[in-house]
Amino acid sequence: MDKRKIKNFQIISAVFVCILGTLLHFTYELSGKNGLVGAFSAVNESVWEHLKLLFFPMLLSTIIGYFYIGKNTSNFLCAKTLGILTSMLFIVIFFYTYTGIIGRSITFIDITSFFVAVILGEYLSYKIMISNFKCNSTVAIIILVIILICFIAFTYSPPKLGIFKDPITNQYGI
């Protein structure tokens, strides 16, 4: 596969994820709090719900990309899955580290970390795609399906853990 084609797709993917992720922050409220929309949009201000803003656009980009470059890139699904996981981990680790240090969250830093996470994940995906890295695509698909199920299930029935708690309302999930 042509490295330039992969690079261009990854850049477009990053822009797509940033735009769609930003829009998904508002779609639940704009839908009149429609439960179906809540499955893939942020339903509150918890860290978990904000991870959806990253996961679902990246998953959609992965599906689109599979038909564009993925069929000709042997490690495409693994690369995209590792990019998604890295982005999500970056957001969680960065958020809890900086808020642990300064004692509160700052919206500008949260938004910036989202964009950095997207770029990091897409860049890692690119580097893996152009490498000789080999992995099992079936495992990558299983991981994505498990994460998808967790996001949907925990929207409606989240565990009573801090990552799921809305810091504004002190509520969990929908």
pLDDT in tens, 91-118: 999 999 999 999 999 999 999 999 999 9
The Cα 139–Cα 37 span in angstroms is 28
pLDDT value at 72 more than 90: no
Higher per-residue confidence, 1 vs 149:
149
3-state secondary structure of 173: coil
Residue with tokens 């839908």: 31
Q: pLDDT band for 53, please (50, 70, 90 cuts).
A: very high
Taking the C-alpha atoms of residue 114 and residue 150, their distance in angstroms, rounded to an integer, is 20
Mean pLDDT of 1-25: 95
Residue 122: its pLDDT value, please? 98
d(CA 142, CA 174): 26
Indicate if the pLDDT at residue 143 is higher than 90.
Answer: yes
Distance in angstroms (rounded) separating the CA atoms of residues 80 and 137: 10
Q: Who contacts 174 (Cβ-Cβ below 8 Å, separation ≥6)?
A: 33, 35, 38, 43, 155, 156
Percent of residues, the chain, with pLDDT higher than 90: 91
2 confidence band (pLDDT: 50, 70, 90): confident
Is pLDDT at 169 greater than 90 in this prediction? yes
- Whether the pTM exceeds 0.85: the reply is yes
Structure tokens at 47: 């860290």
- Cα 23 from chain centroid (whole Å): 13
* Predicted pLDDT of residue 1: 65
